[in-house]
Chains A and B, each alone.
Chain A
Amino acid sequence: MARFSLSALGADRPGIVAGVSGALVDLGCNLEDSTMTILRGHFAILLVVATPPQVDREALERALTPIADAFDLTLAVRPLSDAAVRAEEADRAQAPGPGSQAQASVEAREAWTIAVHGADRPGIVHAVTTALAQARGNVVDVATHVVGEPDSAVYVMTLRVTLPAGKAAEAAARHVGEAASELGVHCTTHRDEADLL
């Protein structure tokens, strides 16, 4: 089974998801993962698609072209290597469950949420994520919003990240906070709580 990434972007209107997913299901493809959202009035689709043996990249593009034309979507199909998917599956298999011990060979990491907000200006994402990378943090998920009136717009960014566990995580969080304050934006960090009830 092969996997492909599929991205599509176009002015938002009803029927885009139904159209794209319809073309895929007709080919016997499986949607393994997806993010779909509106970005500044544009509907953005990012998919990981698993395909049956006879469906190659050309077949995917051929099937999707009528939908892309109908909705004026910018479409991109790329083959994916299985390595990243296998690595994620291995991570899941090794994830410490209740009562088990984390593998000593795997660096312990923990999930944190970072919230950043301040007057909108270029460079906020870059400054925060550069500090994060320096501290060996990894971005798992990011959402951004621009709110308020245009002349006093506020940039709000929330990130889910993983950091090296323990004291290193606290140092990394401090490092990110310092980078944010140099930029004059407010930044708070907290460990994700994982209370199992």
Chain B
Amino acid sequence: MAVRPVLVLPHRVLSAVAAPVGRVDDEARALAEDLLDTMRASPACVGLAAPQIGLSLRAFVVDVTGHRKARSCHGPFVLFDPAITASEDPEVAREGCMSVPDLTGDVTRARRLTVVGTGIDGERLTLEVDAFEARAVQHEFDHLDGLLFLDRVAGSHALFERKVYR
């Protein structure tokens, strides 16, 4: 459908709690297509949430296909109104975000989780995800609550500038 501009800090939508999507209608499906198109437009992007393209709605897409840190892989998928129903096995790893320029950070995330939500055809989905796909789901899920990885850093020296020093 369309590649949308990705909002960056300090845009207020990124700090807002997003509203439920509810019934999956044409508008919701168009949002999902825009999220997928926008995610695919950036080669390193493995997930994108609706607030990042300026819509404060509870929807995100994830696609960890071919990523070297991935174990479980459900291919490209969209989740509307997701909920994380179980999570276990925390680990610290570094992540970045399309909406946070120049920084990466060490964040503790569960290595395994169960996430439920509504799929693109309005079907009820229950996904068991682990490793990198689990990290991506938790990162995107946080966007729906107005949280960025910055809000979860593991300490005052857990943020790193991406620029290459001389």
Contacts and interface: CB of A to CB of B under 8 A. Distances in A.
Interface of A: 12, 38, 113, 115, 117-119, 140-143, 145, 147-149, 152, 154, 156, 158-160, 185-186, 188, 190, 192-193, 195
A156 B157 contact: no
Interface in B83-121: 90, 100-103, 108
Contacts of B150: 115, 117, 156, 158
Contacts of A145: 102-103, 159, 161
B3 interface: no
Given A113-B155, A147-B102, A148-B9, 12 more contacts: A115-B152, A118-B10, A119-B10, A143-B157, A145-B103, A145-B161, A147-B161, A152-B8, A159-B156, A160-B155, A186-B146, A186-B151
Contact of A154 (B10, B108, B157, B161): B10
B10 A158 contact: no
A190 B142 CA distance: 15
B151 A188 contact: yes
Nearest to A114: B156
28 contacts: A38-B165, A113-B156, A115-B150, A115-B153, A117-B9, A117-B10, A117-B148, A118-B9, A141-B156, A141-B157, A143-B156, A143-B159, A145-B103, A145-B159, A145-B161, A147-B100, A148-B9, A148-B102, A154-B8, A154-B101, A156-B103, A158-B153, A158-B155, A159-B156, A160-B155, A186-B10, A190-B152, A193-B108
Given A145-B102, A156-B159, A188-B147, A113 B154 contact: yes
Interface residues of B, number: 26
B15 A186 contact: yes
Contacts of A117: 9-10, 148, 150
Given A156-B159, A188-B151, A148 B165 contact: no
B158 interface: yes
A149 to B, nearest CB: 8
B166 interface: yes
Contacts, number: 71
Contacts of A147: 9, 100-103, 161
Contacts of A159: 156
A118 B11 CA distance: 9
Interface in B121-156: 146-148, 150-156
Nearest to B162: A147
A115 B151 contact: yes
Contacts of A118: 9-10
Contacts of A185: 10
Contacts of A160: 155-156
A192 B155 contact: yes
Q: By CB atoms of chain B within 10 A, which of A115, A154, A185, A195 has the most? A: A115
B122 to A, nearest CB: 34
Contacts of A186: 10, 15, 146, 151
A13 to B, nearest CB: 9
Nearest to B10: A119
A119 B14 CA distance: 13
A147 B160 CA distance: 11
A195 B88 CA distance: 14
Contacts of A154: 8-10, 101
A118 B10 CA distance: 5
Contacts of A149: 101
